[in-house]
């Protein structure tokens, strides 16, 4: 079995990532799975190359060493485990979907989609930005039959009708309907950047990932990824969604919110075992806060 840790290059690691690594490595060791590390920098507008070495170095300092993929030792040069180096692969998969008539070009902006949803006008503030929209947009299919070219436009996947039912390894049976959740979702934006949903599935297929361990905040996107796996006639991995560490306002820790990074805490004198123990406690893995080495923390999953 192969599972993966796949950080994005939009900021430094924080305690939420430490909890996530505990689950990934802990569950992997318990289930006899290897951990693959890949760098998800598909969002080139926000990715910063300097974060890559910082993330990989922090992982090693904490004690989370991957069995496969990216590491400090293998980070130089082009890599099959760095998304920005894999455009040709994504393009080939997209061409396969295009030949089958499963994708189409779309000129609609986020602002225009929000207008359709609200039945009126919206703020002139940029609706193309990821921030500032409080609920997920559901695309109505405005461009689905216009025959627009893919190049220079957003590329959308024709979602399937009906519910997708799957068993989450922690949360049990889940039922999601992507057509009602988000409509035809995008695989590549109009600037040529690959989206998370598409790049993630392409990577999991070619890397042989069959166990996906991630936070509950990504649970909502699982069915649309399952649709892509099935459409591409690839095995669907098992999914395990774990709880998150929340801040004082009840929100998840976020790079965008500049949550206190491991880099900052380390510079302030915190040890690796202190931070691992803190993450385990805040994530509900221990009843009291105590220093834990990586090896000691992974033993928690034997229970």
Report pLDDT for 130: 33
Same domain, 23 and 101: no
Residue at which a domain ends, from 180, 199, 218: 199
| Mean residue pLDDT across the chain | 89
Report pLDDT for 248: 65
pLDDT tens digit sequence for 133-154: 335 789 999 999 999 999 999 9
Kindly tell me if the per-residue pLDDT of 131 is higher than 50: no
Same domain, 53 and 93: no
pLDDT > 90 fraction of the chain, expressed in percent and rounded: 76
pLDDT tens digit sequence for 165-174: 999 999 999 9
Residue at which a domain ends, from 138, 169, 199: 199
212 falls within a domain:
no
Report pLDDT for 114: 87
Same domain, 79 and 92: no
Report pLDDT for 249: 65
Average pLDDT over residues 273-278: 96
220 falls within a domain:
no
Identify the band that residue 127 occupies on the pLDDT scale cut at 50, 70 and 90.
very low
Report pLDDT for 198: 97
Kindly tell me if the per-residue pLDDT of 204 is higher than 80: yes
Looking at the 3D structure of the chain, how many domains does it have? 2
pLDDT tens digit sequence for 73-82: 877 888 999 9
Report pLDDT for 295: 94
Same domain, 19 and 79: yes
216 falls within a domain:
no
Same domain, 70 and 111: no
283 falls within a domain:
yes
Identify the band that residue 48 occupies on the pLDDT scale cut at 50, 70 and 90.
confident
Residue at which a domain ends, from 167, 183, 199: 199
- Name the residue range of residue 186's domain: 86-199
Report pLDDT for 262: 93
- Write the CATH number for 174: 3.40.50.620
Same domain, 109 and 22: no
DSSP per-residue codes, the chain:
-EEEE--BSSS--BHHHHHHHHHHHHHHHHHT-EEEE-BB---TTT--THHHHHHHHHHHHHT---SEE--GGG-SS--TTBGGG-HHHHHHHHHHHHHTT-EEEE---HHHHHHHHHTS---SS-SSSSTT--S------TTTTS---STTSEEEE-PPSS-EEEEETTTEEEEE-HHHHTSS-EEE-TTSPBPHHHHHHHHHHHHT--EEEEEGGGGGGHHHHHHHHHHTT-PPPEEEEE---B-TTSPBP-TTTTPPBHHHHHHTT--HHHHHHHHHHHTTS-SS-----HHHHHGGGG-
């Amino acid at each position: 079995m192969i599972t993966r840790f796949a950080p994005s290059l939009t900021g430094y690691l924080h305690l939420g990532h430490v909890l996530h690594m505990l689950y990934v490595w802990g569950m992997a060791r318990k289930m006899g799975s290897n951990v693959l590390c890949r760098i998800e920098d598909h969002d080139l507008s926000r990715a910063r190359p300097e974060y890559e070495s910082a993330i990989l170095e922090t992982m090693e300092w904490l004690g989370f060493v991957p069995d496969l993929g990216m590491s400090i030792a293998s980070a130089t040069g082009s890599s099959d485990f760095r998304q920005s180096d894999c455009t040709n692969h994504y393009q080939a998969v997209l061409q396969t979907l295009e030949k089958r008539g499963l994708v189409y070009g779309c000129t609609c902006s986020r602002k225009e989609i929000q207008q359709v949803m609200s039945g009126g006008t919206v703020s002139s503030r940029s609706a193309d930005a990821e921030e500032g929209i409080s609920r997920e947009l559901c695309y109505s299919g405005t461009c689905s039959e216009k025959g627009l070219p893919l190049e220079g436009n957003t590329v959308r996947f024709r979602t399937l009708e009906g519910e997708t039912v799957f068993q989450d390894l922690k949360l049990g049976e889940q039922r999601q309907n992507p057509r009602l959740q988000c409509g035809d979702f995008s695989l590549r934006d109009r600037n040529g950047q690959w989206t998370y949903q598409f790049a993630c599935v392409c990577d999991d297929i070619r890397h042989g990932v069959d166990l996906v361990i991630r936070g509950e905040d990504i649970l909502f996107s699982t069915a649309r990824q399952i649709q892509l796996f099935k459409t591409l006639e690839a095995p669907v991995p098992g999914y395990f969604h774990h709880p998150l560490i929340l801040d004082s306002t009840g929100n998840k820790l976020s790079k965008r919110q500049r949550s206190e990074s491991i880099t900052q805490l380390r510079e302030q004198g915190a040890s690796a075992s202190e931070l691992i123990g803190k993450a385990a406690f805040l994530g509900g893995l221990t009843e009291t806060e105590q220093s834990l080495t990586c090896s000691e923390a992974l033993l928690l999953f034997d229970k």
